[in-house]
Each structure stands twice: as C-alpha cells, then as structure tokens.
Amino acid sequence: MAKYHLRLAHLYGDLLNTYSDVGNIIALRYYAKQMNADIAVEVISIDNQFNPDDFDLALFGGGQDYEQLVVSRDLPNKKDGLARFINDNKPMLAICGGYQLLGHYYIGANGEKIPGLGILDHYTLSQDNNRFIGDITIKNPKTGQEYHGFENHNGRTFLGKDEQPLGMVVTGHGNNGEDHTEGAIYKSTYCSYFHGPILTRNGEIAKTLLLRALKNKYPDADFSNQEALKVKPTF
C-alpha cells in the first residue's frame, strides 16, 4: 500500500496519443512507486469538465491536425480550470500538440490558424513541405542536465514572456530550427516536442514533476532524503 496518492488528468488521452506518449504515464508510475506513491489516472476529453482541484498532475499529448482541431474547439470550456492549474504551480507535461495548444495559436499544415488557450506566451508557425525529424539532444542551461529524444514536427514554435527553454539544442532542430531552443518551462509546466516518450529516456524530468506534485499535496512531508530522487532511468 503506497503512502502517497496522486491524481493525474490525461487531457484528451483518447484523441491525442499519436506517438504513444501514454508511455509517459507508465514512466511516472514507475518512478512514483520508488517514491512510495501511486497514481490514479483519469482521461478528461470532449465535453468533460476539468476541475483543477481534482488533480495533482496533468499530461497533454499530441495528435494529428484533425484531432487537434477537434480538441481546440473544446478547450475554451476548460481554459479557466487549466489556467488555474498551471498558475497554481501544479505540474503538467505538454507534448507536441498539447504544447502548441497551450500557446496563443498554431498554423496547421494546410495554413489554417488554430487558436490555443494563450495561457503560455508562445505561438507556432508551420513549414512548407518540411518537418523536423530525427534524434535530438538538448542541455538544460540551469541544471546542466542533458535530455535525449526523438522529434517529429512541422510546427516552428517561438517562446514568449516568462518562458524558459527546456534545453538548448546540442544536436537536432528544436523549437524552430533558428534560436537553438527546445521546449518550454513555465512554473511547473514542462513542454517539449520529444516523443519516444520523453520520460522513459529522461527520468530526471519525471522525478521533477513527481516531486513538485508531492510537495504541493503533502507540504508537511519531508522528501529531502527521498532515495528515489537518486534513481537513474533503467528503461
């Protein structure tokens, strides 16, 4: 029986899982077990209400343009709750389409401007007959940690106010192929174009998200000697 219990909202998990990013939940559960915690997952999809008080973490994955367009029409109903969740410093992992939809807008492959939530201050343009595809390595400028993954995206994302990159590109393309940034961090929201999924290859990110969720929910608990934080990825 786990000592700690966390609740995770899988946003549009029935629609946005093109690249098997549900594997991020498997990774989170793996590391949570090492921290004596378990995770209950609930899919929040079309027409479902999102109450930020019901959840400790969130995962927002990516999909094809059609599915993302469908999601973009439902998202305004959840904007207030998601904004409060993010600004209350609750951890969220947003991958590819989820990353794009948290920003102001993105341009689809056919040139259509699809509105996002505007909770994060980035925007995404498209490329003509080109995608950023391949292995990628980045380095976080604050922690010095290197992260490894696989990118596959047409979008070119440009960060805005109060956003920091998840890392600077060592090899690969990153957010836009120009400024050498990849992903974004705002409060405890982590965004990336990494598939693979990202947390199976980068356990330090998983542990960071979990530790924030645990500290938020159990503010009086002492996690300073948590041995699981030293566990290296074994995937």
Q: Which residues are annotated as a binding site?
A: 131
Known binding residues for substrate are: 131
Write the DSSP assignment of the chain as a string of letters.
Answer: --SEEEEEEEETTTTS-TT-TTHHHHHHHHHHHHTTEEEEEEEE-TT----GGG-SEEEE----HHHHHHHHHHGGGGHHHHHHHHHTT--EEEETHHHHHHSSEEE-TTS-EEE---SSS-EEE--SS--EEEEEEEE-TTT--EEEEEEEES-EEE--TT-B-SEEEEES-TTTSSS-EESEEETTEEEE-EETTHHHH-HHHHHHHHHHHHHHH-TTS--TT-GGGGPPP--
The catalytic residue positions are 96, 195
